[in-house]
Amino acid sequence: MPSDTVLSLSGIDRHYGQGETTLSILKGADFSLRSGETVALVAPSGTGKSTLLHVAGLLEHPDAGEVTLGGVACHDLSDERRTAMRRHSVGFVYQFHHLLPEFSALENIMMPQLIAGLSRDEARERASQLLDYMRIGHRGEHRPAELSGGEQQRVAIARAVANAPLVLLADEPTGNLDPETASYVFSALEALVRQSGLAALIATHNHELARRMDRCVTLIDGKVVDFLA
């Protein structure tokens, strides 16, 4: 494994039971992600994009195979250790922002840092820096309902990287935005990845955005395959 590989999936199987039948989603899937790399995951609905992201982010156990995150093999880790790995090494962004409505933008970004043990002052400073970086520092005291869709998603991205994870996993992060706003939000995300050395796997149906990433992969018969968008 190359020294700059931060995420590796090897021989991943994932299946679900449906009555008396078994639905196989991932079948011997292999994938690796390097530090500072952005990879687009482009595949039709129902082919296993979300499943791949959930396995990669330690939200689901694979039925076979190994997930290695930051050089640590995760198959035999306890649930407590997996939770700690997920909290410190992985950031998640979804199509819908899932911000906490009763808290301000700044407080939403502070939350994962406080859970990780940072002081309020440290968390506030980091949150302010991220909001400024995402060009919405002036909106820090606003609650999600007072923000536009693009602003909400930029807050969600800032929250996802607040604990300086190794890997960012995004599931259709611009899918709920109009094309112009989607492009703007993706540009902010891309700049953040480049500046921080973060590695990002981004599921998207948007081929224009996919072409802006370092490479593109898809899912064919349960396996990860490279392709040109």
This prediction's pTM: 0.88
Q: How far is CA 28 from the centre of its chain?
A: 22
**Each residue's pLDDT tens digit, 151-176:** 888 899 889 888 889 999 988 877 77
Tell me which long-range contacts 174-183 makes (C-beta under 8 A, separation of at least 24). Answer: 174/204, 174/206, 174/209, 175/95, 175/204, 175/205, 175/206, 176/95, 176/96, 176/149, 177/149, 177/150, 177/153, 181/148, 181/149, 181/150, 182/206, 182/209, 183/208, 183/209
Average pLDDT for 175-180? 78
97 pLDDT exceeds 80? no
The residues with which 67 forms a beta bridge, in sequence order, are 9
CATH classification of the domain holding 211: 3.40.50.300
| Selection from 135, 137, 203 nearest residue 174 by Cα | 203
| pLDDT at residue 122, as a whole number | 93
**Parent domain of 197:** 5-226
What is the tally of structural domains in the chain? 1
Q: How far, CA to CA in Å, does 193 sit from each of 157, 158, 205?
A: 11, 11, 20
**Each residue's pLDDT tens digit, 185-228:** 788 888 888 888 889 999 988 888 889 899 999 999 999 999 87
Q: Give the whole-number percent of the chain exceeding pLDDT 70.
A: 97
